[in-house]
A and B are shown apart, each in its own frame.
Chain A
């Protein structure tokens, strides 16, 4: 048997296929996989602050069940999974990385957690993030910042900081995050991973602590596009608990693709290296006979302002339930970012201001949707940066909330519109940190985005790797 106890960068399985082939061939047992992952978690977590709760007992229990049957025939059999701490897990502490929920033990599990575990996954624990998913760097966690495994002086991105870092550190094979304004795609890029923001209304949000109800989506992290497709197929579809979710019919996969590039995305503020990376990606796509078309998305310049009206408005509503009567702790435990959003949100909804802010923002949002609809009449997908810069240093943006908000400039419009976007890893910056891009498609085009991503990764001979 393969000795997994001292699994290193070289022999830890980085794909679902590799994991399941090893299990089926009895190269290793599921419990040995758990041994190996837990060993890595215990070794690196104190330094990188990725897991908030480790579910050792549950992991071994599930692994033993899998080994007892010995078939490993479900889509995620033997796949180690961990969840952003805004996903409720029955009887397992769920904090949303906020001290207000410091000792909250949920009475039920999120649909996506259930679906993943029903598909055979082994749960390893709960992951750090910006408190209530408010942030773009992980630094708003009440439990301390998560460090980027590729360079611990840098942020792993946010708000799903731990979900990305866990994979980059080889502590979990797949993870769940959320994407309300880029919270999956940006950390995926910052940690050299594949990240998906699905079409709104495809994956149930039931049991995910809400941030902005008209914008929230369940995000997923994997090392490869193939794995992302497996995860997506497990997670999608109605559960009878999220009224906006409709069942999903897999579309016909296209043979030929047209890719749009929006001129509005290449203006000041875009880092030179990111711009050059996009140029390189464009050439690669052209080299595999994918036509590049110039498009225009004129209203995207309003995306961040309207995002920071609608999102805090919904945040102020969703956080109201933490009223000090329930959940054990008083409201003084809210962090400053939550307080900022509650005040901003209450203001834009208050009578006399609703029309000028919230309602106007909703009307601009309609314009934004029209922009994208028009673009998708011309192209099958849009190539775009995710973050305007490569990963930044811890502490670099923390004193300037507005600067942090600008991290969402290429991502927020996608959430406001509701369409899916696949973030893909491609290369490392001069400073040795991962950078990547996103492919945005029309509603329900996830499988076509996977196809495009696969073709790109094949062409550059992409091989997943971990930092530690």
Chain B
């Protein structure tokens, strides 16, 4: 029997807010000395209370708006309980009913919801025991959950890369996998053709957790699909569990089975009032919405008529796309500009767009041979290639290219192509008369 992968994604994005989700500590915890970025609130000390970070809420809603989600009119936080040493309150403040964003779509893939929560600290395992670093504890974390609508690894990767790009365009997050500001989880199961799409899902799913690069995710899904295929081919249904990925062994391994699954005992967080999102907030956010990557791709194609490959590379980095447009305002040789940026990395050589524009101007103006020089060489070439000229006169106009090449050769590449072809055609036509 042939199986089709059924994959759903959970993506955690650490927004680039100034402060953590519920306290005044810095959201930027990367590389800091352990436990120096903490306060009573993110340490979960007795008596401490959360105070919601409006900037994080706005960034979450902005992402929802970009993905066409419905924004809840009133949203609230919930407590999600589990015991773990790096979770100081014994619950994570998260969301459940009425998260900030419901539904939405990206690249035709349906999103279930986007919610906001806080991060946990980090365990550091040493020889003589485990240490806890709370610098990350309480950091704002946006979680996007898709429907189980992916059927290939390619679809998954495309979706994730586009999501990463959108979050960067909206200045929501750096989405840096290495720094952990973007983290991935995939729910993988295999269904028969009848189960796909929408005819009911397999009654198990395997959660792949703690994967910190696109490449590892790709491999993890790949080997997990193979593992499940093997199980099914032996007539065994894979069990519902959480699995991690071992890069060294190129296998997934069981971390927690369904029987050990948490009962999170969710209930509404009474320490935080419900967040009412009125129309004015949404209108304000909409007015600040930037052009999204897909819109930019389409506009570049229309406006600059440069190749899809160039567009893709430029759009994949908003700074480069902006740089391109700055130079394009000063010079209309769009293809040259794109080429110099994409292939020659001139954007790095000239941090100021005007610098590159001047360089292009120099390239296109200073080196050209003069009209007189060009005309002289053309006469030489015509005189030295009478057989070719005859072909031209007999209507084989395709030989023009050869003649232009000869002229350019003698001009040592300093000829202006437009000028050469104009003067050459004029001379050929005049000689015929």
Contact at B88–A326, with CB atoms within 8 Å? yes
Find out whether the CB atom of A244 lies under 8 angstroms from the CB atom of B271: yes
Is there contact, CB below 8 Å, between B267 and A209? no
Stretch at the interface among B46-54, B152-160, B215-223: B46-54
Q: B259: CB under 8 A from chain A?
A: no
Residue among B40, B46, B49, B272 making CB contact with A96, cutoff 8 Å: B46
If A321-B89, A323-B90 touch, whether A207 touches B47 (CB-CB below 8 Å) is yes
- Give chain A residues whose Cβ lies under 8 Å from the Cβ of B83: 320, 323
CA–CA, A350 and B81, complex, Å: 10
Report how far A87 CA is from B47 CA in the complex, Å. Answer: 8
CB pair A354–B267 under 8 Å, yes or no, is yes
Within B249-292, the residues touching A (CB, 8 Å) are 263, 265-273
Taking CB atoms, residues of chain B closer than 8 Å to A215 are 270
Instruction: Assess A214 versus B48: contact at CB under 8 Å? Given A107-B40, A320-B90, A321-B89.
Output: no
- B52 cross-chain contacts in A, Cβ below 8 A: 243
Q: Tell me the nearest residue of chain B to A246, going by C-beta.
A: B273
A151 CB-CB contact with B under 8 Å: no
Interface centre among A106, A313, A317, A351 (most CB of B within 10 A): A317
The reply on B45 being an interface residue by CB < 8 A is yes
With A210-B46, A243-B272: A317-B91 Cβ-Cβ less than 8 Å: yes
Whether the pair A358, B267 counts as a contact (CB closer than 8 A) is yes
- Binary B-proximity of A298-327 (CB < 8 A = 1, otherwise 0): 000000000000000110110011010110
The answer to whether B45 and A205 have CB atoms under 8 Å apart is: no
For the complex, is B85 an interface residue (Cβ under 8 Å from A)? yes
Q: Which of B46, B85, B269 has the most CB of A within 10 A?
A: B46
Shortest distance between the CB of A36 and any CB in chain B (Å): 31
Contact A206 B270 (CB under 8 A): no
Chain A residues whose C-beta falls within 8 Å of the C-beta of B90 in the assembled complex: 317, 320-321, 323
Q: A321-B89, A323-B90, A326-B88 are in contact. Are A349 and B47 (CB under 8 A)?
A: no
Let me know if A241 and B49 touch, CB within 8 A: yes
Whether A88 pairs with B46 at a CB distance below 8 angstroms is: yes
List A314-346 residues whose CB lies under 8 Å from chain B.
314, 316-317, 320-321, 323, 325-326, 346
Residue A208 at the B interface, CB < 8 A? yes
Q: Is the CB of B46 within 8 A of A349?
A: no
Partner of A208, one of B40, B47, B263: B47
Q: Confirm or deny: B136 has a beta carbon within 8 angstroms of a beta carbon on chain A.
A: no
Asked if A229 is at the interface of the complex by the 8 Å CB criterion, the answer is no
Cβ contact within 8 Å between A317 and B47? no
A residues in contact with B44, CB < 8 Å: 321
A240 contact from B45, B51, B267, Cβ within 8 A:
B51
- The CA-CA distance from A108 to B38 in the complex, in Å, is 13
Please state if B46 and A320 are interface contacts (CB–CB under 8 Å). Answer: no
CB neighbours of B263 from chain A (8 A) = 350-351
Q: Name the A residues within 8 Å of B50 (CB-CB).
A: 243
Q: Does B205 reach chain A (CB closer than 8 Å)?
A: no
A213 interface residue, CB < 8 Å from B?
yes
Closest to A215 in B: B270
Q: Residues of A contacting B267 with CB < 8 Å? A: 313-314, 317, 349, 354, 358
* B79 contacts A by Cβ under 8 Å: yes
Give the Cβ gap from B149 to chain A, nearest Cβ, in Å.
Answer: 26
User: In the assembled complex, which residues on chain B have CB atoms less than 8 Å from the CB atom of A241?
Assistant: 41, 49, 51
Contact indicator B273/A207 (Cβ below 8 Å): no
* A406 interface residue (CB < 8 Å to B): no
Q: Nearest Cβ distance between residue A34 and chain B, in whole angstroms?
A: 27
> Among B47, B51, B81, B89, which residue has its beta carbon within 8 angstroms of that of A88?
B47
When chains A and B are docked, how far (Å) is the Cα of A351 from the Cα of B265?
7
Which chain A residue has the least Cβ–Cβ distance from B91? A317
A206 and B48 form a contact (CB under 8 A): yes
Chain A residue contacts of B271, Cβ below 8 A? 210, 213, 242-244
A290 at the interface (CB under 8 A from B): no
Contact of A243 with B273 in the complex, beta carbons under 8 Å: yes
Query: Is A281 in contact with chain B by the CB < 8 A criterion?
Result: no
* Cβ-based interface call for A110 (8 A): yes
In the complex, what distance in Å separates the CA atom of A215 from the CA atom of B90? 20
**Are A346 and B47 neighbours in the complex by a CB distance under 8 Å?**
no
The CA of A209 and the CA of B269, in the complex, are separated in Å by 16
Bitwise, B30-63 to A at CB < 8 A (1) or not (0) is 0000000000110011111111100000000000
User: Given A320-B83, A350-B263, is A214 in contact with B47 using a C-beta cutoff of 8 Å?
Assistant: no
Compute how far the CA of A210 lies from the CA of B41 in the bound complex, rounded to whole angstroms: 13
Q: Nearest Cβ in chain A — how far from B15, in angstroms?
A: 19
Choose from A108, A213, A242 the contact partner of B40 (Cβ within 8 Å): A108
Give the interface residue-count category, chain B: 20 to 34
Measured CB to CB, the nearest residue on chain A to B270 is A214
Residue from the set A86, A87, A101, A242 with the largest chain B CB neighbour count within 10 Å: A242
B interface footprint on A182-225 (CB within 8 Å = 1, 0 otherwise): 00000000000000000000000111111001110000000000
Q: B270 contacts A320, CB within 8 Å? A: no
Q: How far is the CB of A28 from chain B (nearest CB, A)?
A: 35
Instruction: Compute how far the CA of A205 lies from the CA of B49 in the bound complex, rounded to whole angstroms.
Output: 8
B46 contacts A209, CB within 8 Å?
yes
Tell me which residues across on chain A come within 8 A of B81, comparing CB atoms. Answer: 317, 320, 349
CA distance A358 to B266 in the complex (A): 11
Residues on A with C-beta less than 8 A from B79 are 317
Q: Using known A-B contacts A244-B273, A320-B90, determine if residue A209 contacts B47 with beta carbons closer than 8 Å.
A: yes
What residues of chain A lie closer than 8 Å to B88, measured between beta carbons?
A: 321, 326
Cα–Cα distance between A88 and B48 once the two chains are bound (Å) = 10
Tell me which residues across on chain B come within 8 A of A316, comparing CB atoms.
265
* Contacts A354-B267, A358-B267 given; does A210 touch B91 at CB 8 Å: no
Complex CA–CA separation, A334 to B327 (angstroms): 69
Contact indicator B89/A320 (Cβ below 8 Å): yes
Residues of B within 8 A of A242 (CB): 49, 51, 271
**Residues from chain B with Cβ under 8 Å of A96 in the complex:** 46
CA distance in complex: A151, B52 (Å): 48
Contact B85 A325 (CB under 8 A): yes
Q: Mark A237-280, 1 if CB is under 8 A from B, else 0.
A: 00011111000000000000000000000000000000000000
- Which of A210, A313, A320 has the most B CB atoms < 10 Å from its CB? A320
Find B265's partner among A86, A323, A349 (CB 8 Å cutoff).
Answer: A349
Q: In the bound complex, do residue A320 and residue B40 qualify as a contact, i.e. CB atoms below 8 Å apart?
A: no
On whether the beta carbons of B46 and A346 are closer than 8 Å, the reply is no
Q: Is the beta-carbon distance between A317 and B45 smaller than 8 angstroms? A: no
How far is B85's CA from A431's CA once the two chains are assembled, in angstroms? 53
Complex Cα spacing A210 to B50, Å: 12
Task: Give A260 to B99 CA distance when docked, in angstroms.
Answer: 41
- Chain A residues near B51 (CB-CB < 8 A): 240-243
Chain B residues within an 8 Å CB radius of A349:
81, 265-267
Q: Which residues of B contact A350 (CB under 8 A)?
A: 263, 265
In the complex, which residues of chain B have a beta carbon less than 8 angstroms from the beta carbon of A354? 265-267
Residue of B nearest to A314 (CB): B270
Instruction: For residue A222, give the distance in angstroms from its CB to the closest CB of chain B.
Output: 23
CB B47 to nearest CB in A, in angstroms, measures 4
Contacts of B266 in A (CB 8 A): 349, 354
How far is B265's CA from A241's CA once the two chains are assembled, in angstroms? 26
Closest chain-A Cβ to B207's Cβ sits at a distance in Å of: 18
Q: Within the assembled complex, what's the spacing in Å between the Cα atoms of A214 and B77? A: 13
Other contacts beyond A325-B85, A349-B81: 10, CB < 8 A: A96-B46, A107-B45, A110-B47, A207-B47, A210-B47, A241-B49, A243-B52, A244-B273, A314-B267, A317-B81
Subset of 10 A-B contacts with CB under 8 Å: A108-B45, A208-B47, A210-B46, A313-B267, A320-B90, A320-B91, A321-B90, A326-B88, A349-B81, A354-B267
The 10 A-B pairs at the shortest CB distance, nearest first, are namely: A320-B90, A214-B270, A349-B265, A213-B270, A207-B47, A209-B46, A88-B47, A243-B51, A213-B271, A243-B272
Q: Interface residues, chain B, CB within 8 Å of chain A?
A: 40-41, 44-52, 79, 81, 83, 85, 88-91, 263, 265-273
